[in-house]
Structures are given as C-alpha cells and as structure tokens.
Amino acid sequence: MSAVVIEGVSKVFNAGRADEVTALSEVDLTVGAGEFVSLIGPSGCGKSTLLRLIADLIPPTRGSVTVAGKPAAQARNDQEYGIAFQQSGLFEWRTVLRNVELPLELRGVSRTERRSRAAEMLALVGLAEFGGHYPAQLSGGMQQRVAIARALAVHPPLLLMDEPFGALDEMTRERLQGELLQICATTGTSTVFVTHSISEAVFLSNRVVVMSARPGRITASVDVDLPERDDAARQSPRYFDAITAVRRELRGGGVPAAS
C-alpha cells in the first residue's frame, strides 16, 4: 500500500476574491511505503501547501488526498502521520520529555507507557539525558531534534517535515540529516520532506520531486540512487550527478546534460 496518493489536487486560496491565488494546480503524486520523497522548488511553488494538504491541515479545492489508504481527514484523526515544522513549536512550559509525550497523551496512552516511549524517542535523537530540561534551555538544533522525536513518538507510518532544518547552521544540519536517515531506516517510516536546499534533498531522498511556481505544479521527478548515505556519499560522483539533474529541472528542464 502506498503511504500517500494524491490525485488531481488543486488548491485555490481566497477563491472568487481579488486576491485569489492558485497555489497548486492538478498535482498527482504517489509516495511508496518506506520511501523518502523530497519536495523542492522556488518559494511560492506550493510545496508547503502540498504538505499541509497531506496533513489535512487545509482541505483541497479539487482532487483527493489518500494517506495510508484512507481519506486525509480520517488519517489525521487516526494519527497516521507525525509532523515537524521549521519552527520546532515546542511548548515552553513543558519539559522536553513531556513535549515528546504530548501526542501520546492526546491519544490516551497510559502514563507509564508514554514515559518509556518518550524516553526511547529521546534516546533515538540523542537527547536521552535532557528529558528534564525546558525547551528554552536547549540550542536550536537540540530543539529541532526534540520536535522530530515528538513527531515520531506515536510510531507513525508517515513522517511529514516542512523545512525542519531550515533555521539551522550547516554543520548541525548535516549531522541531523544523518540522524534522520538512520531513524527512518530503523523505523521504516515513509517521509515527505519539504526543503529548498538541493543538496539536502538529494542526500536524503530516494526521489526528489521538483515543483514550479504560479501555478504550483510538479514539473519533474528525479530518482536518486546512492548506495550509501554517509559523509563519503556527499563526495561521490552519483551525488553530484543527481544534484546537477535536480538543478537542471529547477532551471526549467529540457536542456540536455553537459556530459
């Protein structure tokens, strides 16, 4: 079963008004189980809108969104996905551990179980000993890791991420990318990842979906086949080839490779 199926989806904001915006037009996208798909494109191409449609935070104007074989609204109610935004969005009045517990709490998981599960998730993102801290005590990168732990706490089959590393410095970014890949590999989670960094998209993804703006639509899909995704991979010819391919598509496509 595919993790996400999007068919003929359009999204129009402020329909019928002077400030009407067509954010997405006739989008089709399928994300397979266990697949890591990045959405990349210039600002205003509707990549975040597409992610929000999958998350059922906004309804589509036309078309259908299916998550884990169910309509998006039902998938949201069943908490079939975990989500992380560019801002970690941690609740400052809760300790790190209690932040990670939040989705479990809302699901009615018993106290002892959510304690242990949240602790397990914090260990996964390497913050086991920071459970008792408050978010304000952590650096930006650590806060983002907590947000990822929170997104993973319900063991969702699908992880939705909207530029989660966008506000971080390059070094922290690369380290978290590695950690994210490891987590996805161990948990078998499918991932939809919104970014505007070509290298980030290529390094992380099985497939990079390129979008263009006005109206937002998918223009190309670049398969990335890296044997290993480690620091050595960042130097490999395949990696650079994929980057070139994505960049070409972003520039408008059609032009043959220089090689």
Q: Which residues pair with 193 in a beta bridge?
A: 38, 161
The single residue among 92, 225, 228, 231 that binds other proteins, judged by CB under 8 A, is: 92
Rg of the chain in Å (alpha carbons): 19
Segment 123 to 152, residues that bind other proteins, using CB under 8 A: 130, 133-134, 136-139, 142
Closest CA to 164 of 183, 186, 185, 136: 183
Residue 81 binds to other proteins (criterion: CB under 8 A): yes
Structure-token pair, residue 238: 């395949």
Segment 43 to 62, residues that bind other proteins, using CB under 8 A: 52, 55, 57
What's the min distance (Å) between Cβ of 86 and other proteins? 8
Question: Which x/- pattern over 150-179 shows residues binding other proteins (rule: CB under 8 A)?
Answer: ------------------------------
Residue 240 binds to other proteins (criterion: CB under 8 A): no
Closest CA to 29 of 56, 57, 3: 3
In angstroms, the CA 59 to CA 188 distance is 28
What's the min distance (Å) between Cβ of 87 and other proteins? 5
Q: Please tell me the count of residues contacting other proteins according to CB under 8 A.
A: 30
The single residue among 21, 22, 33, 105 that binds other proteins, judged by CB under 8 A, is: 105
Contact call for residues 28 and 218 (beta carbons, < 8 A): yes
What's the DSSP call for residue 72?
H
